[in-house]
Amino acid sequence: MPEHVEPQLRAHRQHRGVRPPRSRLHDATVAFASMGVLALLLFYAVAAPTARLTASVGPVVPRPGSVVVVQGRVLGSNGGGLDGALIDVRRAGRSVGRATTDDAGAFRVDLAGHCAVYDISVRARAVGSTVTTAARRQLCPGDALPMDVRVVTQGHFLWIPGPR
């Protein structure tokens, strides 16, 4: 190609908006930066906050009376009472008692009946999901079963600076 044609061709390309070819270093930098952003998004999705319930069931306490009592508290991850958690007590697969926690997280279920194995389940909403836990105990009339249930959260590795 003659020498006088190349500057004209370059000027023509710039006029039409055609860019000169990029370097391989630029392409590699963009590719690595894009992979870094995708990796951060993946880490955030994997380490997003999760919640679960843990139940601490105390020893059965004998008390006067002819009913079985299941009582306790459901606490949120901040240590305060969790309002609206559902406690369901089953015997032989059938629901025999239910309760919902009050604003302090307290509940009490009175059960009439005889000595049997009871399945106690607790269901609550925490960190945008429903979490459950369960316990199974042999109880007889006059027994009281204390339970402390707590929401445990994990995650939140991403720190975003700025005003709160």
What is the domain extent for residue 96? 50-154
* Same structural domain, 28 and 103: no
| Contact call for residues 135 and 120 (beta carbons, < 8 A) | yes
Is 159 within a domain?
no
* Same structural domain, 17 and 38: yes
Q: In what order do the strands lie in the sheet with 86-91?
A: 94-100, 86-91, 116-126, 129-139
* Same structural domain, 85 and 22: no
- Per-residue pLDDT at 102: 96
Is 150 within a domain?
yes
65: left (phi over 0), alpha (psi -120 to 50) or beta: left
* Same structural domain, 30 and 78: no
CA distance 75 to 152: 9
Is 71 within a domain?
yes
155 has pLDDT over 70: no
- Per-residue pLDDT at 95: 95
Q: What is the pLDDT of residues 38-60, one digit of tens each?
A: 877 776 666 666 778 888 999 99
* Same structural domain, 65 and 139: yes
Whether the full predicted model's pTM is greater than 0.85, yes or no, is: no
CA distance 124 to 107: 13
Q: What is the pLDDT of residues 79-93, one digit of tens each?
A: 899 999 999 999 999
- Per-residue pLDDT at 164: 44
